Amino acid sequence: DQLLGIRLAKREIEDVNAFFTPRDRGVKREVATVFSAPTERLTQCGGPGNVRLFDSAVSAIEYAHYPQDVLFEPQFTNSLERISRYKVVVLAGVSATYPGSWKTLKKWVENGGRLVVLRESASLDEYGDRNPEAPDLQPGENKLGNGTIAYYPEKLGSMAMAEKIIAAATSAGVR
C-alpha cells in the first residue's frame, strides 16, 4: 500500500511537472519583473506597497508578448551577474528592498539598463525605514549614466502599464 501511494504521488507530480519545471526553449528573455519579499512582508503587516501590481505587471508584459523572467531580489542583491542579462527590469508596487538592491540596480542602470518603477518608489528598507540607498525619483524619466529609470507613481491600469513597459522595452532594443 505504501509503495502504491508513492507511485500515485509520483504520477500526479509528473502530470503537473510541465507547469513548474523550468526548461530552456532557446527564447532569450530581456525583460524581468522583480519579486520583492520585503514588500510582501511589509504589505502583510499593513505597510505600504501593492503586491497585486506584481501580477498586473507580469500580465502586462505577457500582453506585450515579451518573454520574461521573474527576478527574485536575492538573485541580484550585491551582484550584477544575474541582472546584467536583462535590458529592462520592472519594479511594480515595490515599496521595500533588501540592503544592496538599490546599489546594484543603480549600477545596472548606469551601465545602460532601463528600470521601470510603477506606483511605489522602493524607498524603504526591509524593516519599513527609509532606505539610504534609494534614489529620490522624480516622476517621468530619470537619466542615470547610460541608462534610465522611468518612474510612474500614478495609478495605472493594465493597458497603461503595458504601454509604459512597451515604451521602455522598445527604447532598450527589446524585440
CA torsion sign, 89 to 93 to 98 to 102? positive
40-49, 86-95, 130-139, 145-154: least confidently modelled range: 40-49
Average pLDDT for 71-77: 92
More confident residue, 99 or 43: 99
User: What is the arithmetic mean of pLDDT over 140-163?
Assistant: 93
Mean pLDDT of 153-172: 91
Q: What are phi and psi of 63, to 5 degrees?
A: -60, -35
The beta strands (E) that lie in 26-170 are given as 31-35, 68-72, 88-92, 96-97, 114-118, 124-125, 140-144, 147-152
